[in-house]
């Protein structure tokens, strides 16, 4: 699921295509001590911009996220030359925001103005651990103070910022140790989120939180019509890109690279897709007759990655009718763009999956589907490591609101499944209300449905942990939920 689906609450919309591909790998770039200009990937992305400028823009973006904007929206307001570097710093700051806020409260118990607070928390989140800091903590502090002096909104408080950050450098270990007694500071998630995970996953809640604070791997799905994972791995090795095989169609890179550097990307040989998300098409379609004229629906389909995987799974020349739904016209264009790059075709409809009366008869002939993929709008709690703003944007009430929407979509689409057909319900969520509890409630009210063997809740992180993909022995994956439902055959 792309968590920007327009069927979810409008104010908070983290987007998976805004994943931090440019910042994974934990590189610690050096900086010039005098000017703060980076000679690192961050600095190069910003074309040699001084560090104070990057920090100021990062603090503005952080302030925007705190006010309810998604990270994508906040970054869109940043100058294009600065944006890659600011994104790298912002994502790292968001991953350590809980700790930074707790340390700031020790340094300044009274809340400073929002812009000042954002700059302080940005510097603290980046500098609290020298081993993870993208620049030397002393340089970060110097350049944060410089940023304060350069802007009218913070200049009157520059001496205050300087005093707070100098004290932080002197007392860092004690301040961090005191802050980490607070679970929000220790785990860098809101208290309600931590409590919910402890309730939903008593044996794995710490693993989930720890995984959320790490960089996600870059996984690729190989088009089986154009190559194989093993063949593509050899192509990568020839240009010194190390990788490992994951699942049946995937390759995971040792270090991320820009997609433009991937051999065959423009020609559709590979697509960027997490290992957990790559399970959707095989789960839905395994065992179906590829030579039969099957009708397949991908509901809530943008940006089109799973639609494309369905078509790749069918194979060239398969007499399948594949329909992709997306309620938002602008986002539906991304489905067209995805299919065009991959040289695939499907019927793409701008329509609400919860209102079949608006599209099913007119555009699909009123005929039932052999298979439906419902990748439902959700809290995106399983992809927090790719979108660290999600944890700070979500509210506890979002879970109940989205659960009602998921139930509505299930109820609307189930009658469209032909007798003997199947529906795959999935969410990129680790909350049980959006996964196991949702499916159990559905089964209790639909006696013509039975649950086929399904992964259930996939726990994010290393594959040697419970909940990881059994067929993914060497890779990593996001948090996800899958339930494959089959409708009883006609009497």
Residue 409 has phi, psi (to 5 degrees) of: -65, -40
Sign of CA dihedral 85, 139, 115, 147: negative
Active site residue 364: no
CA distance 380 to 427: 8
Query: Pick the catalytic residue: 121, 164, 426, 428?
Result: 428
Q: Which of 283, 314, 287, 323 is nearest to 485 (CA)?
A: 283
Exposed e or buried b for every residue in 467-483, given b needs 16+ CB within 10 A? bbbeebeebbbbbbbbb
Structure tokens at 414: 């189930």
Sheet holding 219-222, edge to edge: 243-246, 250-253, 219-222, 270-272
Q: Would you call the peptide bond into 349 cis, given omega within 30 degrees of 0 as the criterion?
A: no
Q: Which of 287, 328, 323 is nearest to 306 (CA)?
A: 323
303 assigned to a ligand binding site: yes
DSSP string, 184-232: HHHHTS-HHHHHHHHHH-TTTHHHHHHHHTSPPP-EEEEPTTT--HHHH
Q: What is the dihedral of CA 55, 56, 58, 64, to 10 degrees?
A: 160
326 assigned to a ligand binding site: yes
85 assigned to a ligand binding site: no
CA distance 432 to 411: 19
Instruction: Report the Cα–Cα distance between both ends of the chain, in Å, rounded.
Output: 35
179 assigned to a ligand binding site: no
370 assigned to a ligand binding site: no
- The answer to whether residues 447 and 276 touch, using CB atoms and an 8 Å cutoff, is no
Sign of CA dihedral 305, 306, 310, 313: positive
Report CA-CA distances (Å) from 180 to 96, 102, 176, 177, 389: 11, 8, 6, 5, 21
CA distance 474 to 484: 25
**Other Cβ atoms closer than 10 A to 352:** 20
479 assigned to a ligand binding site: no
6 burial (CB, 10 Å; 0-12 / 13-18 / 19+) is middle
Please state the residue numbers annotated as binding site for S-adenosyl-L-methionine: 300-306, 326, 352, 375
Positions annotated as catalytic residues are 428
Known binding site: residues?
A: 300-306, 326, 352, 375
């Amino acid at each position: 699921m792309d968590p920007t689906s327009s069927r979810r609450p409008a104010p908070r919309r983290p987007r998976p295509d805004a994943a931090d591909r440019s910042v994974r790998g934990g590189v610690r770039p050096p900086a010039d001590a005098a000017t703060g200009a980076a000679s690192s990937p961050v600095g190069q992305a910003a074309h040699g911009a001084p560090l104070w400028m990057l920090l100021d823009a990062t603090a503005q973006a952080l302030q925007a996220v705190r006010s309810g904007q998604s990270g994508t929206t906040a970054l869109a307001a940043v100058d294009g030359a600065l944006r890659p570097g600011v994104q790298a710093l912002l994502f790292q700051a968001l991953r350590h925001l809980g700790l930074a806020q707790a340390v700031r409260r020790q340094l300044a118990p009274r809340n400073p103005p929002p812009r000042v607070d954002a700059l302080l928390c940005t510097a603290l989140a980046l500098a609290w651990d020298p081993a993870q800091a993208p620049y030397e903590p002393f340089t970060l502090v110097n350049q944060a103070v410089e940023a304060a002096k350069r802007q009218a909104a913070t200049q009157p408080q520059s001496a205050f910022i300087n005093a707070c950050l100098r004290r932080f450098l002197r007392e860092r270990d004690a301040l961090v140790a005191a802050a980490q007694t607070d679970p929000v500071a220790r785990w860098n998630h809101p208290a309600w989120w931590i409590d919910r995970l402890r309730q939903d996953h008593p044996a794995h809640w710490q693993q989930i939180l720890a995984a959320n604070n790490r960089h996600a791997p870059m996984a690729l799905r190989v088009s089986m019509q154009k190559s194989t994972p093993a063949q593509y791995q050899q192509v990568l090795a020839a240009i010194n890109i190390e990788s490992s095989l994951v699942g049946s169609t995937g390759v995971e890179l040792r270090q991320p690279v820009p997609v433009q550097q991937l051999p065959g990307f423009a020609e559709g040989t590979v697509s960027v897709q997490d290992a957990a998300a790559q399970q959707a098409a095989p789960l839905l379609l395994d065992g179906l007759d590829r030579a039969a004229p099957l009708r397949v629906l991908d509901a809530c389909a943008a940006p089109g990655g799973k639609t494309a995987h369905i078509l790749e799974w069918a194979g060239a020349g398969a007499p399948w009718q594949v329909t992709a739904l997306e309620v938002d016209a602008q986002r539906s264009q991304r489905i067209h763009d995805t299919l065009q790059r991959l040289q695939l075709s499907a019927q793409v409809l701008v329509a609400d999956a919860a209102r079949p009366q608006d599209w099913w008869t007119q555009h699909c002939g009123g005929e039932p589907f052999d298979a439906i993929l419902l990748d439902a709008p959700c809290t995106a709690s399983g992809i927090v490591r790719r979108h660290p703003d999600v944890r700070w944007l979500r509210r506890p009430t979002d879970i109940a609101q989205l659960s009602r929407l998921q139930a509505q979509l299930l109820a609307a689409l189930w009658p469209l499944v032909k007798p003997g057909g199947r529906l795959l319900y999935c969410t990129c969520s680790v909350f049980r209300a959006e996964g196991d509890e949702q499916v159990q409630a559905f089964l209790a009210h639909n006696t013509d449905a039975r649950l086929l063997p399904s992964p259930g809740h996939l726990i994010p992180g290393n594959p040697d942990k419970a909940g990881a993909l059994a067929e993914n022995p060497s890779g990593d994956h996001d948090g996800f939920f899958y339930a494959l439902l089959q409708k009883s055959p006609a009497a």
